[in-house]
Chain A
C-alpha cells in the first residue's frame, strides 16, 4: 500500500544545533514529495518540494531535504536550529500513478534555549 512514515513523533534539539526530521515513503514510480510546516493556530506552509529534478532540494528558512531513491527517504535537515523553527512538520507524498495525496503523521520539533 502507498504510505508515508515519519519516524519520529517528537524531536527536541538545542538552539544552534542541527535538525534532522526523518521521512520514508513506500516505493513508487515518480513520487512527488513535499515538506510542510504548521505553526500553532496557523495554516500549513510549504517548506520545499521534490519533483524529479535535483535530489537535494533547498527550501525556505534554511531547510533542505535530500531525495534518496535507494532508501526511499526524504529527510528534512537544517544546519542550525532557531527558536522560531518550533512547530509541527509534515512530510507529504503524492503518487502520480494514483494521484493520492498522503500526509505523514507529523513530527513536533521543539527547540531548547
Chain B
C-alpha cells in the first residue's frame, strides 16, 4: 500500500514565478491537507480539501490556491512567488468519516527554493 506521495521532490523557482505541487493521498483517504514548513519551524496549515472543495484555510494569502481531483489527489499552486515562500511543503491525507478524524499521514514533502 503506497503511502502519501508528493512531486516533485525539489524545485527551484525565481521570484514572481508560479509553481504547482502535487500530492497523491494514501489509498482509502479522501481528504488532503497542505502545510508549509519553514526552516527550523513547525508546519503551518495552509488549507484542506474534501470532496473537491476547500473546507478549511489557514492564514495564507490568496496567492496560495489548491485543487482536489475526483481521484482525491490534490495540487497546491502558488502565484507571484516571494523569497519567503521558500520552505518544505507537506501534504497530508486522512479519511474524514472515521472515529478519529484528522489522523493524518504525511508525505515526504516538496522542498521549494525561491531565488
- Chain A residues engaging chain B, CB cutoff 8 angstroms: 32, 34, 36, 42-46, 49, 51, 90, 94, 99-106
Inside 8 A of A99's CB, which chain B residues have their CB?
56, 102
- Chain B residues engaging chain A, CB cutoff 8 angstroms: 4, 33, 35, 41-45, 48, 56, 90, 92, 99-109
* Minimum distance in angstroms from A24 CB to a CB of chain B: 15
Give the secondary structure class of B's interface: loop
Give the secondary structure class of A's interface: strand
How many contacting A-B pairs (Cβ < 8 A)?
A: 49
Inside 8 A of A51's CB, which chain B residues have their CB?
99-100
Q: Which of A46, A90, A100, A101 has the most CB of B within 10 A?
A: A101
Beyond A43-B106, A101-B104, A103-B45, 10 additional contacts (C-beta under 8 Å) are A34-B103, A36-B106, A46-B103, A46-B104, A49-B100, A99-B56, A100-B45, A103-B42, A105-B41, A106-B42
Bound Cα distance A104, B44 (Å): 9
Inside 8 A of B35's CB, which chain A residues have their CB?
103
Return the chain A residue nearest B109 by Cβ.
Answer: A43
Knowing A49-B103, A94-B102, say if A103 contacts B43 (CB, 8 Å).
yes
